[in-house]
Amino acid sequence: MLQKLRNSSCLSRAEDSLKLVEEKAREYSILIEDFLSKAPGDLYASYTGLGYLPASILYWYLHTVSSNSKCIIGEVEETSLHLLPYRERGSIIIFSTEEYSKLIPALQAIRVLNYDYLAFSLTPLDDRLRALLKHYGVNTYSASNPVEASLLLGLSVFHALARKYRSSLQSRGLRLAKHSEEGFALVLSSLVEKYRGLLEELADSKEPVFITSTRILEPSAYTLTYSLRKNNILAYYTPLELLDTTKKTLLVLSSVEDRVSRECKTKAPFSIHELILNTDPLEAAIYVAMLSYYLLYPCKE
């Protein structure tokens, strides 16, 4: 991992690959925007695995920019078992990275309960599963790992909502729409450059790293934890409320959450490390997921 972080040619190739991911995300964003424009009733943002990231972006974006929107977020099995049977008819968007044993029974229940839905899933290798997903009208996609899948769907949601709500929140909506139009792939190199020192320190760590965040960045912190562990770094996600500040800790925060940073550093000034995103909180999750994507990018080291 250390060699990858210092490999400029690998970073350039990763940027080109991310451009292709973002092109596919723009295609999916049209489906999402169209579904949201017609979706009746309450909206459920549901997910399996690292699909938590796009579901969370959908949830936070809608609650921030649209006071009239009611969006409920939940893991797909929990949603289909404990919410949908007891609610009035509504709409559901599902973001699945794999986990077909949860996804397919949920789709069966959603069909029986007559909910409108839009579903995305990683294309399975098994022919029978592919046929089942086709039967349920699921949009399948290809990705090299769950983090890439999560980022693809997260970008899809962000581009759809940035376009749909470009006139909301005055200049903020326009700024987010502009960032969406410019694209995120082009900033991967500068992003890795900015946080290279921190990532190298984590890669060199001989002790476990405990990653924590506020709720809005929890899903992207999960993707970072996943990527670090796949690089043989002992990384664990811990909710902020349960954090043991005597351990080596990485705070994943947006710059507006400086209160959290101050409090943690007051308790443990020598064990706290920070990944601070100086950007709008609604897009900060995308940047963390991009770093996670690069940590898993396959290049010869």
Q: Give the model's pLDDT for residue 243.
A: 84
Domain 15-182 CATH class label: alpha beta
> In angstroms, rounded to a whole number, what is the distance separating the alpha carbons of residues 261 and 251?
7
Q: Give the model's pLDDT for residue 244.
A: 85
**Amino acid present at 69:** S
**Is the entire prediction scored with pTM above 0.85?**
yes
Q: Give the model's pLDDT for residue 2.
A: 67
Q: Give the model's pLDDT for residue 157.
A: 98
Residues of the chain with pLDDT under 70: 2, 269-270, 300-301
> In angstroms, rounded to a whole number, what is the distance separating the alpha carbons of residues 245 and 12?
37
End-to-end C-alpha distance for the chain, whole angstroms: 8
Count Cβ neighbours within 10 Å for each residue of 203-236 and write b for 16 or more, e otherwise. Answer: bebeeebbbbbbebbbbbbbbbbbbbebbebebe
Q: Give the model's pLDDT for residue 40.
A: 84
**Paired tokens of 274:** 């920070």
185-295 fold: Rossmann fold (3.40.50)
- Domain positions in the chain are 15-182, 185-295
Q: Give the model's pLDDT for residue 301.
A: 52
